[in-house]
Amino acid sequence: MSHTIPLHYFLIVSTLMFFTGVAGFIIRRNLITILMSVELMLNSVNINFVAFNRYLYPDQMQGHFFTLFIVAIAAAEAAVAIALIINIYRKFNSIEVDHVDEMKY
């Protein structure tokens, strides 16, 4: 397995995915799209953890468990973020970042 694909290929894929997420975070002005960009970034980090675990330390499971915990935290984060987004939509009737600029209502 590891002789067919070097570790660097995984790292390049996850780097490109991470910076796509960063670009989406900066370019998009919509809260849900920003949330999706954050999910992309979290996911690329997971690929790194898993690839390092399999290639460098196949006798341990640290990367595997960290990925498991990150997936759980991402799910919790998405639930809270979407609750916040729906609440913002109720107050401002829009979830574009440019329209949500008052702290007081």
Asked if 99 interacts with other proteins (CB under 8 A), we say no
Asked if 82 interacts with other proteins (CB under 8 A), we say yes
> From CA 46, how far away is CA 13, in angstroms rounded?
12
Asked if 78 interacts with other proteins (CB under 8 A), we say yes
Asked if 67 interacts with other proteins (CB under 8 A), we say yes
Q: Which is nearer to other proteins, 1 or 103 (CB)?
A: 1
Q: How many beta carbons lie within 10 A of that of residue 34, not counting itself?
A: 20
- Interface with other proteins: number of residues (CB under 8 A): 71
The secondary element (H helix, E strand) that includes residue 48 is helix 31-56
Query: What part of residues 30-49 is at the interface with other proteins (CB under 8 A)?
Result: 30, 32-33, 35-37, 39-40, 43, 46-47
Reference 46, options 19, 24, 17; nearest CA is: 17
Q: Which is nearer to other proteins, 30 or 101 (CB)?
A: 30
> From CA 85, how far away is CA 82, in angstroms rounded?
5
Are the CB atoms for 13 and 51 separated by under 8 Å?
Answer: no
Near other proteins by CB under 8 A: residue from 59, 101, 102, 104: 59
